[in-house]
Amino acid sequence: MSQVMMNRRALLAALGATAALALSETPAMAALRRSKPFFQRIGKPIGLQLYTLGDMPVKDLDGTLAKLAAVGFTDIELPNFYNRTPADLRAAADKAGVRYSSIHMNMPGPFTGGTLSLMSSPQEIADGLNTLGIYQVFMPLCPLPEGFSIPEGKNPQVAIGDALREAGADHWKRTATLLNERAAALKPFGISLGYHNHNMEFAPLPDGTTGWEILMKETDPSLVNFELDLGWTSAAGLDPAVELGKLKGRVKAVHVKDVKATTKTNYVMSQDPTEVGSGRLQWAKILPAAQAAGVQHFYVEQEPPFAMDRLAAVTKSHGFLSRFVA
């Protein structure tokens, strides 16, 4: 018998054994598999958006990352560059034994936290992110309408919401075009670009649509992905599990964020925040929906004000998620 025939028979036998094993799983075995904590079952780490810790990383990045590693957070999303070089940021991560897997990058302005912005050259962005080991970028906030300013005495969040509503659908279409253009420029360098939501994207526009609907429709699925912030989605009065279903195949990350039952539906970046598991979000529905939609990274994030020390808050959230069965 030829070696080719023997290899073919061995392969068929192995495939048959694998199929038989799958078919032979008893109800008890299936129940045992499902009884494992969600993150243990799917084999993914519980991540953290570093924004949650406020100025702790600014004052002591090495110490902050070491404390997070001790809690169990090893998958980190950066909110910006913290006015540090990519080499310095990478050295701190390596020292603590954590990795960066994503970063938020704004348009040029005071919130970039460094010299790079989304409008920097693709080569400059790629050089910086390759040093960090990052291949996914999210725009954390849509560009504000041209000429935007906050009237004296007006709540900034309300001013932003009002300006976006007045700018209408065209503003969101321009944002989609910008995302498509920047994503196409970054793709040859191995960098993916996505969009992270708050709740103003879900505000009804004069033409009956929403900014969120326009972004999903007008961005190129082969170029632009999404990071769904579950807490802000809930604050807009929507079911995060339903929204995850609409984004199947396009949602690469989520912000695992909880809000209190007292949070009222709004579109002006307002919520009553709390630790994950202490609020109203239905994690038994949401986490499996995220897995089914193709989410690769789960970043805990919490907005201020905090009811306890920030590190204690994220430790509580991690403890809940590490034990949660879904």
More confident residue, 17 or 80: 80
Radius of gyration of the chain (CA): 22
Q: What is the pLDDT of residues 200-223, one digit of tens each?
A: 999 999 999 999 999 999 999 999
DSSP of 146-163:
TT----TTS-HHHHHHHH
Residue of 142, 128, 136, 124 lying closest to 77 (CA atoms): 136
Give residue 6's pLDDT: 46
Q: What is the pLDDT of residues 127-168, one digit of tens each?
A: 999 999 999 999 999 999 988 889 998 999 999 999 999 999
pLDDT category of residue 115 using cuts at 50, 70 and 90 = confident
Give residue 52's pLDDT: 98
Q: What is the pLDDT of residues 258-278, one digit of tens each?
A: 999 999 999 999 999 999 999
Q: How many CB atoms lie within 10 A of CB 150?
A: 13
Of the segments 7-16, 24-33, 103-112, 236-245, which one has the largest average pLDDT value? 236-245
Cα–Cα distance between 195 and 141 in angstroms, integer? 8
Between 156-186 and 211-218, two packed helices, what is the crossing angle to 10 degrees? 0
The CA-to-CA distance between both ends of the chain, in Å, stands at 50
Residue 2 has pLDDT above 60, yes or no: no
Cα–Cα distance between 292 and 243 in angstroms, integer? 12
Q: How many CB atoms lie within 10 A of CB 297?
A: 20
Residue 21 has pLDDT above 60, yes or no: no
**Please, how many CA atoms are within 13 Å of residue 321, restricted to the half-sphere of its CB?**
30
Q: What is the mean pLDDT of residues 89-112?
A: 92
Residue 1 has pLDDT above 60, yes or no: no
Q: How many CB atoms lie within 10 A of CB 5?
A: 9
Please report the sign of the dihedral spanned by the C-alpha atoms of residue 271, residue 276, residue 280, residue 285: positive
Cα–Cα distance between 133 and 65 in angstroms, integer? 16
Give residue 48's pLDDT: 99
pTM: 0.89
Residue 315 has pLDDT above 80, yes or no: yes
Cα–Cα distance between 266 and 195 in angstroms, integer? 20
Residue keyed to tokens 């009065």? 237
